Chain A
Amino acid sequence: MEKKGTRDFYGKTLLELGRENARIVALDADLSASTKTCLFAKEFPERFFDCGVAEADMIGTAAGLSLCGFIPFVSTFAVFGTGRCYDQIRQSVCISKSNVKIVVTHGGITVGEDGATHQMLEDIALMTSLPNMRVIVPADAHQTSSVIRFIANEEGPFYVRLSREKFPVVYDEKNTFHLPYADVLKEGRDLAIFASGLMVHQALLVAKNLSKMNVDAEVLNVASIKPLAKETILNSAKKCKIAVTMEEHSIINGLGAQISSLLAEEFPIPVKRFGVEDRFGISGKPDQLIRFFELNPESLSHKIKLFIEKYSK
């Protein structure tokens, strides 16, 4: 399976947008080599602002640039671009509804060796709570490109979460984005799997495993966690009548919580959330951590089987 970096495709797409539109500007907080805004910086030094290690200041600066008609893309790691500057995002971006695009990399446990301080597992919770904020987790590099193009042309605040690790690709270059976004990647009748980010690919592997156990799973990529594509999600829920969610985030107030809330109100069925339990991450290699947190296809398939059995009695 071919792997591509979501952040690499972000950097590439931002550069293309910079060539097409002089209103695109980029800001970073001393991590441009990692977030890949360095590509934009190199070609458009006058439209790139390295804010130094000062994320709160960076968010405000971006809001100011947007007030002059520019379209600022703000990048750093997920942990620094949300928790460190939550109040700035809340007031200078969301209450003000300024046209700021926050695109972070290094979300989730697959950050790896850097450990808990750098493995952001609460960003989706923080960002989905903010009125006026739209929250997107692309499933792969190609979708990242289409998301970045989409948000550049859509007025108002966005939060896009990308990763350090290269992901197996799920889509081809032709993926186009729209809001809200959820699509069925594999149809099935027995179980609905709602996944986001890296876990979309994992979910497809899980579905393969499950089919060997005579469970026909439907797999959805829920790329926009806010707003949710309610209709698509409810259709799958109604068809399968039991569901699981998979995310590289705390199961508290992430994708799983959003889906569970929706289903509790609109079509109550059993839902199990997979992600990181109520705890911080640890150091290790990304694939080791996926296994440690039991987000590998084998563990997931096993647990799903038990979950289905529990409710089929």
Chain B
Amino acid sequence: MQNELLNLETVAYQIRKEILKMTNSANSGHPGGSMSCVDILLCLYSKFLKHEPNKPEWEDRDYFILSKGHASPALYGVLAYEGYFPKDELMTFRKLGSRLQGHPERLFLKGVEITTGSLGQGLSVANGIALGLKLKKSEASVYCLIGDGELQEGQVWEAILSSGHRKLDNLCVILDRNGLQIDGFVEQVKGEEPIEEKIKSFNYNVIKIDGHNYSEIISAFEIFKRTKGKPTFIIANTVKGKGVSFMENNVDFHGKAPSNEELERGLKELDEHIERLERARS
């Protein structure tokens, strides 16, 4: 178990390297919010989500919706490592003719359930899927990742009200609470706290975790699987730009690609993380 988690964490750092390379090569994209959610996504895809990379439209699959579509590099990285497409293709990100559009597009890439990018819409779609699955008497679940800046969108609250009201216990929302949006700290731009109490009052099962701690991520998803009669909302405290010291908690790297020099320094730091984990494993 311990080794398995170290393994996953190592892969997450490898995907972070891809995120830096992809955004550098595209000279655009959103590295910060991709690096904050990559542990959650990887853990979800490798341990919980029922899915078939060779059969993305498999009837009985679980669904994942990346509502904060700008974290597409993280999603593409995880999909590539899960075998949806060759890793080489990651470098086509945001380039003409690529399946890896700037924001995830359903009509371009199998495995993307719905197009996102305009924030605030994913949870309503996830609700619809959750309702559809219940109507079909399917045992499958829906997972939806939202951002803490995104949480300011009114539609997200409409959707939270809907899923709480309908007791959608096959729905798991994960909040990537990295504390930052484009214009600064979420609490300064338009404070949302106390999030836990607010969401609880919408009839949700709320779990607070460290979104970079694999045992906590896993136990949160396990609690979700056991919870009946309510949707689950995981508040995952994360670090924007996680893994690269000069990107961590740095609002500048929300929507800015690393320069060649920054890329080099960043990759070096990520390699050091990978080496550290490998030492811990042996």
Contacts and interface: CB of A to CB of B under 8 A. Distances in A.
A186 to B, nearest CB: 42
B127 A60 contact: yes
Interface in A55-70: 56-70
B118 A67 contact: no
Which of A25, A52, A57, A58 has most B Cβ within 10 Å? A57
A98 interface: yes
Contact of A67 (B63, B107, B135, B138): B63
Contacts of A264: none
B184 interface: no
Given A60-B128, A96-B107, A67 B114 contact: yes
Interface residues of B, number: 33
A54 interface: yes
Contacts of B122: 60
A60 B142 CA distance: 14
Q: By CB atoms of chain B within 10 A, which of A54, A65, A91 has the most?
A: A91
B105 to A, nearest CB: 7
A233 B123 CA distance: 43
Contacts of A114: none
- Chain A interface main SS type: helix
Contacts of B159: 57, 60-61
Contacts of A95: 105-107, 115
A68 B125 contact: no
Interface residues of A, number: 32
A87 interface: yes
A81 to B, nearest CB: 15
A47 interface: yes
Interface string A97-138: 110000000000000000000000000000000000000000
B124 A92 contact: yes
Contact of B131 (A49, A52, A87): A49
Contact of A88 (B124, B127, B136): B124
A51 to B, nearest CB: 7
B129 A60 contact: no
B53 interface: no
A2 interface: no
A88 B116 CA distance: 10
Contacts of B107: 95-97
Contact of B161 (A54, A68, A88): A54
A307 B249 CA distance: 67
Q: Which 6 A-B pairs have the closest CB atoms?
A: A64-B128, A60-B124, A68-B132, A57-B158, A61-B128, A54-B158
Interface of B: 63, 105-107, 113-118, 120-133, 135-136, 138, 154-155, 158-159, 161-162
